[in-house]
Amino acid sequence: MRDDLARAKRIGMEYGFYLLLLAIILVFTVISNSFLTISNWAQIAIASTFLLAAAAGLTLVLINGEIDLSIGSIAYVAATVVYLTADVPAGVSVLAALVAGLAIGLFNGWLVAYLGMNSLLVTLGLMIAYRGVALVFTEGTVKQAGDGVAALGQLKLFGIVPVIFLVALAFLFIFQWVLRETKLGTFWLAIGNNEDSARKIGIPVRRAKLAAYALCGISAAASGTLLAAYLGEITTFTGRGMEFQAVAAVVIGGTSLFGGRGNVFPGTICGVLLLIVINNGLGTRGVSPFVYPFVAGALIFIAIYLDSIKNRARQA
């Protein structure tokens, strides 16, 4: 009997969050006529695109038991690269932005994995430094993206599904594949479980972490590039506060801050959706937009409380 109870509790902890998401969608559907409409969901898709792209890579870093707070600034740097390359073909421009993200990610990973710096503090410092670098180039003003890139941002599949959303999804699925189906992914999970044991057993810990940061850099850069493409311009708000939103979404999606536990799909996707859907749903109901931060804060709080319970055994 006790085992059954424990089992039910475990299942509840594991899947309860997905049920919550479903319930919230249901409630909004019932109380709001404009919630479950194609145009509203197209809006939700657009709104979640940029956070999805950034959270995908951050999930990998968190699974390693590390963190990257510079992702918002990486996004802005990438968007700035899009501006600086406005005159070249769109493909080259996008590629340049992603390469910039990769380079920054590698640098972050090198500092954390090879020099052993604390990831929280070091990426907090870099968050400021990278944004400063980008601001020097944009002079703190709004800049235009190239016409080619801006056109890409408006592409729609079947006239309804935004391509940028599909690009973000592609990142999520690729990362999920890397996480679940490759050696690298297994190494990440092992490192997040217990870095010392991983090292003892012969896992290339430093290289694996470096790879996670590199992918995180690319994914953050993708987020900034997609935003630049969608807006057709680069605003100084690109990526502002994104690091905290992304951390929240990833953790709500069940990825542990203790490392070693979590997934991109469905976890992180649902975490992002939950935040966006609540924001959107409250909007369609005409609820004061000022309520949203409360709800979001409470959700994060509950999510991390559950996380700390799940990992209590490992903490001790």
Partner 1 sequence: MTAKLKMEGVSKVFPGVKALDNVSIDVRAGEVLGLVGVNGAGKSTLMNVLGGIYMPEEGHVAIDGRRVELRRPADADSAGIAFIHQELLYFPTLTVAENMFISHLPSGQVPFSVDKRAARRRAQQALDQLGSAIRPSARMEMLSVGEKQVVEIARAVAQGADIVIFDEPSSSLSIKEKESLFAIVRKLKAEGKAIIYISHFLDEIEELCDNYAVLRNGRLVGSGSVAEVTRDKIVELIVGQVVSGPAARQRRKSGAPRLLLKGIRREGFLEGVDLELNCGEVLGLWGLMGSGRTELIRSILGLDPLEEGSITLNDSSGARPIAQAELLARTAYVTENRRTDGLFLEEAIWKNISATNLEQYVSGRMRVLDKGVEAKTATSMIKRLTIRAPDHTTRAANLSGGNQQKVVFAKWLNRQPEILILDEPTRGVDVGAKREIGELVESLADAGTSVLLVTSEIEEMVALADRVAVLRGGAVAAEMQGDDINETELMAAAIGTGAARA
Partner 2 sequence: MSDASRSLVTRDSSVPRLWHWFSARPALLPVVLSVVMAVIFALTVPNFADLRNIMNIFGQLGFLGFLCIGMTYVMVAGGIDLSSYTVVSAAAVVGATVMVATETTLPGCFLMLLIGCVFGAINGVAVAYLRMIPFIVTLSTMVVAEGFAIWFTQAQSVYGLPDAFIDTFSARVFPMTLGITARPVGTPVAGIMVLMVALALGFVLSRTIYGRRIYLTGANEETARVSGIKVRQVKFATYVVAGAMAGITAMILTADLGTATTAMVRDVRLMDIIAATVIGGASLRGGKGSILGTMFGLLFLTMLSNAFNLLGVSPFIAMVIKGTVLVAVIGLDVLRTK
Give the one residue of 97, 198, 218, 274 binding partner 1; rule: CB under 8 A: 198
**Of 201-209, 244-252, 268-276, 286-294: span binding partner 1 (CB under 8 A):** 201-209
Check residue 202 for interaction with partner 1 (CB under 8 A). yes
Report the SS3 class of residue 29: helix
Check residue 260 for interaction with partner 1 (CB under 8 A). yes
Check residue 286 for interaction with partner 2 (CB under 8 A). no
Give Cα 277 to chain centroid, integer Å: 16
Give the one residue of 37, 118, 154, 197 binding partner 1; rule: CB under 8 A: 197
Check residue 178 for interaction with partner 2 (CB under 8 A). no
| C-alpha distances in Å from residue 232, one per residue of 14, 226, 239, 288, 304 | 40, 10, 15, 29, 37
Dump the DSSP string for 243-282. HHHHHHHHHHTT--TTSS---IIIIIHHHHHHHHHHHHHH
Check residue 106 for interaction with partner 2 (CB under 8 A). no
What's the CA gap between 232 and 87, in Å, rounded? Answer: 14
Q: Which parts of 134-173 interact with partner 2 (CB under 8 A)?
A: 135-136, 140
What's the CA gap between 113 and 117, in Å, rounded? Answer: 8
Q: How far is the CB of 190 from partner 1 (least distance, A)?
A: 5
Check residue 132 for interaction with partner 2 (CB under 8 A). yes
Name residue 211's amino acid: A
What's the CA gap between 38 and 113, in Å, rounded? Answer: 45
**# residues contacting partner 2 (CB under 8 A):** 46
Check residue 309 for interaction with partner 1 (CB under 8 A). no
Give the one residue of 60, 261, 281, 299 binding partner 1; rule: CB under 8 A: 261
Residue 286 touches which member of partner 2, partner 1, none, C-beta under 5-8 Å by kind: none
What's the CA gap between 191 and 203, in Å, rounded? Answer: 8
Q: How far is the CB of 187 from partner 1 (least distance, A)?
A: 8
Check residue 211 for interaction with partner 2 (CB under 8 A). no
What's the CA gap between 36 and 19, in Å, rounded? Answer: 18
